[in-house]
Structure 1
Amino acid sequence: MRFFQKLSLRIKTIMIAMITSALALSISGIFFTLYDYQIAQNKANQEYRVIAKILADRSTAALEFLDEEVARDNLRSLEAHQSITLACLFDVNDDLFAAYERKSYRAYKCPHLLKRDQMIDDNQYLEIREKVIYDESVIGALYLLTDQGDLRETMFLRVVTSVIIILISLFITFLLAVRLQTFVTRPITRLQDTAIKIRQSDNYSLRAEKTTEDELGDLVDAFNGMVAKIENDNVALRDSEERFRTLTASSPVGVFQTDEDGQYTYVNARWREITNIYDIHLTQEAWIKTLHPEERFQIMSRWRECVEKGDEIRMEYRLLRDDGEDVNVICHAKPLYEGSGNIIGYLGSLSDISELKSVQLQLEQLALYDPLTKLANRYLFRNRLEKALKHSEREKTKLALLFLDIDHFKKINDTMGHDQGDDLLKAIAHRLRFCTRPGDTVARMGGDEFTVLVPEIHYEHEADAIARKVLDVLKVPIRLTGMEVIITTSIGISIGLSDAIDANTLMKNADLAMYRAKAKGRDNYQFFSDEMNIELTRQLAMEGELRQALQRNEFELYYQPQIDLTTNQLVGYEALIRWNHPEKGLVPPGEFIPVAEDSGLILPMGEWVLKTACEHIKLFNSTGLLPAHGHVAVNLSPRQFHDPNLVTVIRDLVTTADIPSQQLEIEITESLLMDNVESTIRTLEMLKDLGIILAIDDFGTGYSSLNYLKRLPIHVLKVDRSFVMDIPHDKDDVEITAAVIAMAHKLGLKVVAEGVEQLLQADFLKENSCDYAQGYYYGKPMSVDDLYKNIGHYEKWRSQG
C-alpha cells in the first residue's frame, strides 16, 4: 500500500486501468470457459447414457438366449465412439457375460471391476451403469467406462486461447490507458504546476487554467477560489502587519512576540532601547542576562509558571544594564492561540517606568518625609507611634515621646535669613539622627518642632538619658555660612503607656511638657505630670468662661495716663482690658490673655477693645478727659495683628466712632515684628496711611534688627518697664535706657517709658529727653468712672512741672 501511495497519478491511472481490465477479462474468461466445459461435459454424459440405454436394450436377446457372440458384436459397435474405453455386460448373477476393450486402453479390466460399487476413483473417467430388463425383469447389467481426456484437452486449449486473448486485450488496454490518462492527469498536472509556482514565488495572484467542465474543472475552480481567499487574507494580513509594525515602531512602549518555547520572534526598536539588547539574532538567554540578579530567579519562575498554565503575564521587575544602571519595567503579555486552541506564543509590551518610580518615590517622600530635613513627617510619625503603642501594649513595654522646640529659632531665622535657617534645620536634623538609636524615629512636625519616638524602653531614665544627650549635642556650635550658631532646645517627654495609651493624648502630653520646659527657662527637658493636665483643664475651663464673658459683656477697659515729661501735661492713655468675673472678681489680663491667644478668642476680644476704645475716645473728647491732640493706645496681639481684615476693621471703627484717626495709637510687641518683617511693614504702612499712630511696645526685650527698625513706619518706641524699674540704681539699665532714647530720637521717633513709679526715675527720663512716661507715679490704670473722679489729679502733675 505504501508503495502504491508513492506512485505518480499517471502510473496509478494506468495501473488501475490494467488491473481493472485484467480482472474483468480473467473473470469473464474463467466464467465462460467453465461454463462451456460444464455444458460440453453434460452433453457428453447425456450422449453416453443414451448409448448405454440403447446398448442395454440391444443386449436383452443375447442375455435371454445366452448368445455371447451376439453380445460381443453389440459391444463392438462402441468402437465408433472414441471416448468409450471399456464396456462390460453382466448376467443376472453379476458374472461377466461379454466385454469390449479399446485396444489402446489397458488400464482397467472388467473382472477386476465387477464387485466394486465404484470401480474407478479418477475424475478423468466417467462410469455409466444400465440395467438390462426383459419382460420387466432385470436379467443383467451393462457397464460403460468413458475417458474425458479429450474433453479436458479441448478445455485446456480454450483456456490457453482465453489467456492469449486476455494478454492481447491488456496490451491494447495499456496502450489506450497510456494514451487516455493524459485527459485525466493533464488538468491535475497543470493544477500541481500552478501550486508549485505559487509556493515558490509566494505569488497568490496566479490561477490554475480550467480545461474541463467535469469534477476536475470543479476542483480547479475550488483551488482558484481558495488561492483568491488566501491572496485576500494575505493582503489583509500584510496591511495589518504593516499597520502593526508602523504602530509599534513609533510606540513609546516596547513590543515583543515570542513562540511557544519563549524565543523572541519580533521586538520593536523601543524594546531594544529599554533592554539595551541590539543583537540581530535575539534569544531568550540574552534577555535573561539583562534581568537584575536579585530578581532573576523569581522572574523566571513566575514566567515559566504562567507559560505552563497559559495564563496572562503581568510582572514588574528591574533590568540591569551594562553601565550598572537599574531600569524599572512593567511587562504585560497575553497568549496567542492557533485555530485548534493551542498556545503558539505570547504577544506583550514592556514599559520603562523608571521615571514613574522616581516620581512615585518623590511623592512618597513628600507624603511621608519632610522635604527639607528628610526626616519623617507628621503623618509617618503618627503612624509609627500608633504601631509602637500597640506593640508596647502587646509586649508589656514602654515607649518615650520627646517633643522638641528650638529656642528662639524664629528670631534666629529672621535675623540670618530663611536660607540660613533652612541650613540650620538640616544640621539639627542630622544631629538628632546621630544621637538617637537605629530603631528610634525622628520627625519634623513643622517649623522648628521635632519629635523623637523611642520604643521598647523599660525605665523612664532611658528617656532621660536620650533627652540629656539631645540637649548636649544641639549645644555644640553649628557652623553656617560665615558664622557659628549656638542653639538650645526645650524638650517635653511623655511616657506610653504610663501617661497615655493613645497617640493623640501622648502627643498632647509631650507638647504640654515642652511648654513647661520653656516656662522653666528653656534649654531643659520636662516629663509630663498630672499637674500639667490640671493646668490644661484650668485653661480649658477658662476658655469656656471667656466665651461666656464675651457674650455677657463682662470685660471693661481701664486707662493708664501717659504724661508729657516736658510739660507735665496729659497726652493720652493706654487702654488695658480687665475681666469682671461674676465670682472671681477682677481678673488681671496676665491670666486670661494667653488663654485667649491660644484659643483664638483674642480676635473678637481685640475687636471689642478697639471698638470700645474708639467709643471712649469720642466720649473723652466731649468731656475734656482727652486733650485735643491726645491719643489712646491699644495693644494688638500677634494673632490679631496678622488678621487680614485688621486694617478694614480699624478704618470702619474709626469712621463709625467719628473720631480723628491720629487719636488712636496701635501698639505691637517687638517680637511680633520679627515674625514676618515684610508682611508686618505692609500692614503698618496701611495703618499709617489711615493716620493711626504706631508704637512698638516692650522695646529692648526682643531681638529686632536695627536694619528692620529703620524701615518700619512707626512713630513711638515704648521702653519696657524692666529697664526703668531699677533706674537709677542699676548702671546697665541706665545706659540701656539712655541709649534707646538717643537711638529713637536719631530715627525721629517719640519715646514712652513704662513702669515709672518714683521721682528719681522721672527725673532721669527728663534729663535724657524721654518724651512721655506712664506708671504708678502718674496714675494707676483706672476705669472710666475713676477717670472722672480723679480728673483734678492732672492739675497736680501740671503744678509739679
Structure 2
Amino acid sequence: MGVVFSKSLFLKQAALTLVLAVVLSLISSAIQFFEGAQLQKTQINQDFEELLAVVEKPLSEAVFRLDIEYAQQQIDSLIIIPSIAQVEVFDDAGLLFVKAGSIDQSCSSTCLFLSDYFLSDLPLYQRQLRVVNPTFQAGHLAITPYKPHLLDAIFSEHSHILVYNLGKDLLLASLISFVFYFLVTFPLMRLTDSLTKVKRNEGLPLPASFHRQHRFDELGNLHATFDAMWRKLNTALSDLERSDSHTKAMIEHAADGILLLDEHNNIILANSAAQAMLKRDSAEFQSSSLNDLHTTDTWPVFADVLSGLKIDQPLTVEATYQIEAIELPVEIRLAKYQLQNKVEILLLIRDISERREAEAHIHHLAYYDSVTGLPNRQYLAKRLEATLHNKQGKSSLSCSAVIFMDLDRFKTINDSLGHNVGDQLLISVASQLSSLLEDNIVFARMGGDEFAFLLTKLGSNREQVEKDVKGFADSIMFACQQVKKAGHHEVHITASLGATIFIDTERSAEAILKQADTALYRAKESGRNTFAIYKAEMQAVSDARLEMEKALHHATEFKLFELYYQPQTNHKNELIGAEALIRWKDAKRGFISPAEFIPVAEEIGLIVEIGHWVLNQALSQVAIWLKEGKWHPSWRMSINVSPIQFQQAGFLPMLKEQLSKHKVPTSCVDLEITENMLLNDLSSSLEKMHAIKGMGVHLSIDDFGTGYSSLKYLKSLPIDRLKIDQSFVRDLLTDKSDEAIVHAVIAMAKALHISVLAEGVETLAHFERLCEVNCFYYQGYYFGRPVPPSEFEVAFIQGSNQLKTPL
C-alpha cells in the first residue's frame, strides 16, 4: 500500500494490538502461575506432614533404644526423595542423633534466589518423637525441603499454560487488526482519496458500496460531516470573495481619499478619491513617498505622529498637502493594524478646505458684528479676559480702560427714518471712529446703538491715564457730532460715554463691563452728550442692587416670603374677599417693600417662581378656610399675576394644576393683571384671558388708570372688575382731576357692565365720597391693613357680616 509506518493508522493499530495481546497474555499467565503455586504449596505441606507421620514411630523407637544404625537407615530412605534437602534427628537433650543430606543439590545462586523468593513461605518441617509405652519424650525430627526442585516442578507444570495463552492472544490480536483494516482503515483510505479529487462546488464522490456499508456508522457520519463542512467552506469562500469585492468597491467609491501604507510607510494602495483629490494616478503614488505630499513645515510633525502611532489606537490629525503649488488642508484618520503578521497603516484623507472656510465664517459670525463688521461683545469680553490674565504675576502693572458709548436719540432716528437708515448710520459711525484707533485699542459694537472701546498699555500713572482717556473720549464725542450720511439723509447725532480704569487683576471682566455701563448711565443722567469716569460712589448703587439680587435668590430658594391678606368689602361693610399680598422680611434689612423687590425679581427672572409660590400659598389658604367653614363660597381671593408670568407658555397648565391640586372652586379665585401687560401681545393675552374665564376664574385689571389701555380694546376684554389705582383715590377729595378720573372710570365700567373696586380707601371721607359717586367695593387701610392669615381670621372672618362700623 506504500504507507509509512509512522503515518499508517493500520500499522499503528496492529502493533499496538499485538503489544497489548502479549502484555495481557503474560499478565494472565502470571496470575494463573501464582494461583497454581499457592495450590502446589498447600499440597507440599500436606505431603511433608504425611511423610513425618510415617517415619515418626520408627525413629522414636530407634532414638529410645539408642539404635543409631536403624535411625540412619530411616533417614537415608527419606533423602532419596528429590524434594528433601536434609533430615536431622535430635535426642531428648537436643543433641544431634543422626543426620543425612541430599547427594545432588547443585544449583546456581540465581536458582537459589528465585526458589527462596517464590517459596519463601515454605517452613522447616518438624515433628516431636514420643514413645507411647513406656511414655517417653525421645527427641524431635527436622526435615528441610529442597526448594529448587519444588520450584522446578511448579514451573514445569505451568509452562504449557503460558505458551497456550500467548499463542491464543497473538492470534486474536492478528484477527482484530485485519478486521480493523477492512472496517476502518480501508474505508478511510477511500474517503481520503475522494477528498483529494473533489473540486469546488461539488459534493464528495464515493462508491455506492461505501454508502451501503457505512451509511449509519461513524464513517458515514464522518463523510456527512466532511460533506457539510465542504459545502460551508464553499459558501464561506463565495462570501469571502463577495466581501473582498465589496470592500474593494467601497474603497474605490469612498468619498474620502484612502491610502494604504506598508510597514515601511510605502504607498501600496490609493483609491480613486485620493487620486482625484491629490491629482496623481496609482502609478505615481507607488513611485513616490508620503512626504512628497506634505508641505515642508507639516511633514516633520506628521512623521513624528506616524512613527509614534500604536497598533489598534486610531488617531485623527490635520495636515497640509502640497498639490500643484496649492496648499490643501486635510484631515487624516490614521489606523495602524496587524494583518497576517504584517503591519499596515490606513490613511483616510478628507478635504477640509470648505470646513475651514465655514469655521472662519462661523468665527466671524461669533466674534464680529454683521452690520458694522466690528468685533462684538463676545470678542471684547474675550480680549478683556486675556488682558486681565496677562497682567497676573507682573510686578509693575499698566492701566487699562473700558469705554462704553451710546448714541443719543438713536431710537428716535431708527423709528422715524427706518431701520435701514439706522443701520447705515451705525456703519457710518463705526467707519468714522475706526480712524481714531491705535494698536492698543479694540473697538466693538455691543449691540443696538451701544459701542465699546478697550484701551490697554496706558501706563501706570493713574492721573495721566485719566487725562488720556478723557482726551480720547472727547475725540469720540467730537467725531460723533460731525454730520453723518445715512442713505439720502444727513443725520446729526451725539454720544454719551462712560469709562472705567482698572489696574488690579482681582476684578472679573463682567465686573469691569458693569462699571463702564454704570458710568455710561451716569453720563446719560447728566444730560447726554457727555462723559463720565466710574467712581467708587457709583459702586454703592450697583452693590446695593447686587446685594438685593443675592438676597432675593436666597429668599426664593428657601421660601422666606410670607403672604398677608387685606380685606375687600362692599358698601354694606360686608366682607367680599381678600387680596393676597407678598411680604418679605430680610434678616438684615427687615421688611422690604414689594415695590422695591418685585421689579428686581422681574428683571433677573425670579418672578415666575415667586408668582407660582404665591398662587400655591393663596389657594392652599383658601382651601383650608373652606374646609374649616370660614370662607364663604361667594368671596374672592385676589391674586396678582406678573406680566412676565402671565406671558409664560406654561401659565395656563400651571393654573389648572394648582386649582386641581387644592380643589378650590374657580369662582373663589380672582386673578389681577395690569393693563400695561396688554400692550405686549394683545391677541395672545386675549386668548389666555378667555381660557381663564372658561375655567370659571374671575379676572380684574389692577391699578387701572395708570397704564395705556385703549378703550377700543377694553370693551373686548373678558374682565369682571376694574381696580381704581390708589393714587387717584388718595387725592379724590382735594384734586379735581383725580375726582374726574374716578367719575369717568366708574361711568365707563357701568356702561361696560364691569364692577369697580377702589384701592387706597384710608378715611371715612374717602368711603363716603366713593359711595356718593356709586363705587360700592373697597380696599384700604380704613377697612383693614394686610395681616398674616391667623390675624385675618380673628380680625375679619369671625363676625364678617359687619366688618367695621364707619366712623
State the TM-score bracket (shorter-chain normalisation).
Answer: 0.3 to 0.5
Tell me the TM-score normalized by structure 2.
Answer: 0.45
Q: Which has the larger radius of gyration?
A: 1
TM-score by length of 1: 0.45
